Structure 1
C-alpha cells in the first residue's frame, strides 16, 4: 500500500504547477458563476419577473451560464493574454469547472 501511495504521489509531482492553478481557477470561476446565477434567479423570483419558470429551466440556465463563463475565461486567457496558446491549460481550466458542475447536477 505504501508503495502504491508513493507511486501516486510521484505521478502527481510530474504534473506542472501551472495545470493545478488552471484547475483551481476553473473551479473557482465555475462556483462563482453558479452562485451569481442562483442569486439572480432568487432576485427575479422575489420581484415576480419570472415566477412561473420551471425549476428545470432555472437549473439548466444556471449551469449553462457557468459553463460559458469558464470556457470564455479559459479561451480568452489563452488566446489573448498569453504569448503562446496551450490547449492543455484550457483543458485544465474546464476540468476544474467540471468538478463544480458535477456537484451542482448531483445536488
Structure 2
C-alpha cells in the first residue's frame, strides 16, 4: 500500500492510501478525488487521467511507453518530464509518498 497525495489545481490536497496493484487513476477514482475523469476506465485510450508528477518522483516511475506518449499529446497543457497518464502508473510500496498535481482541466 502507498500513501499518495493528489493536489487539485486549486491547491486542495487529498492524501489517501492506495492498494498495491491498483493504478494511481484507480486510487483517485475510488477515493472520489476531483480532477481525474478517467473516461476510458484505464485503457490508455484518452487523456482524462492526466496529471503532473512531482519532479522528485518522475524518474522513479516506470518509463512511458509509446501508447501513453501518443495519448499525452491530447492532454491539456502537457509538460515534458512531469506529465503522465495516471492509468499507466501501477501502485507499489515503492510509490509511498508519491505526489501528483492535477491539471486545471481534462480534455
Larger Rg: 1
TM-score normalised by length of structure 2: 0.21
TM-score normalised by length of structure 1: 0.21
Which has the larger share of helix? 1
